[in-house]
Amino acid sequence: MSMQSDAEKTRVLNDELRKHLLGGGAVITAGIAELGPNVVERLLLTLAVYDDFHHANDPYEQHDFGVFEFEGTRVAFKIDYYDKSLTFHSPNPADPSVTERIITIMRADEY
C-alpha cells in the first residue's frame, strides 16, 4: 500500500473540482459570464479535459492553476484553499475535512 504525499492528495482533490465541480465551489468572473450560458457550458467541458500541467506552470504538482485558449479567448483558472469558514487560508489543503476549495474561472486579462 503506497502512502500519498500531501501534493498527491491535493492534486486528486483539485482534479475532482476542475473536472467534475465536486468537492468545492466554483466562481466565474463577469468576463466569463458575459460569454453566455451556452458558451460557459462548453468552456466547463473544455476545463474538465485540460491537462497541460508541467513544471513551468505547476511547480508543486497540485493542478491548481492553468491558462488555455478557448474559442479565441485566453482563459485562466485558479484553485484557492480556505478554511471551512471561508475566512482564512486552509491549514492543510490535502485534508478536505478542514479545506474548502474554490475554483475561479476567468479571462486571462482579468487575472
If you average pLDDT over every residue of the chain, what do you get?
96
Q: Is the pLDDT of residue 59 over 80?
A: yes
Q: Is the pLDDT of residue 98 over 60?
A: yes
Is residue 20 within 8 A of residue 49, CB to CB? The reply is no
Asked whether residue 49 is assigned to any structural domain, the reply reads yes
Query: What domain range is 105 assigned to?
Result: 6-110
Is residue 89 within 8 A of residue 81, CB to CB? The reply is yes
Q: What is the pLDDT of residue 111?
A: 85
Asked whether residue 70 is assigned to any structural domain, the reply reads yes
Give ∠ CA 76-77-78 in degrees, rounded to 5.
Answer: 130
Q: Is the pLDDT of residue 73 over 80?
A: yes
Asked whether residue 55 is assigned to any structural domain, the reply reads yes
Q: What is the pLDDT of residue 93?
A: 97
**Total domains in the fold of the chain:** 1
Q: Is the pLDDT of residue 1 over 60?
A: no
Asked whether residue 1 is assigned to any structural domain, the reply reads no
Q: Is the pLDDT of residue 4 over 90?
A: no
SS3 content of the chain, % helix, strand, coil (to 5): 30, 25, 40
- 49 to each of 17, 58, 94, 103, 104, how far by Cα in Å? 12, 16, 22, 15, 16
Q: What is the pLDDT of residue 2?
A: 58
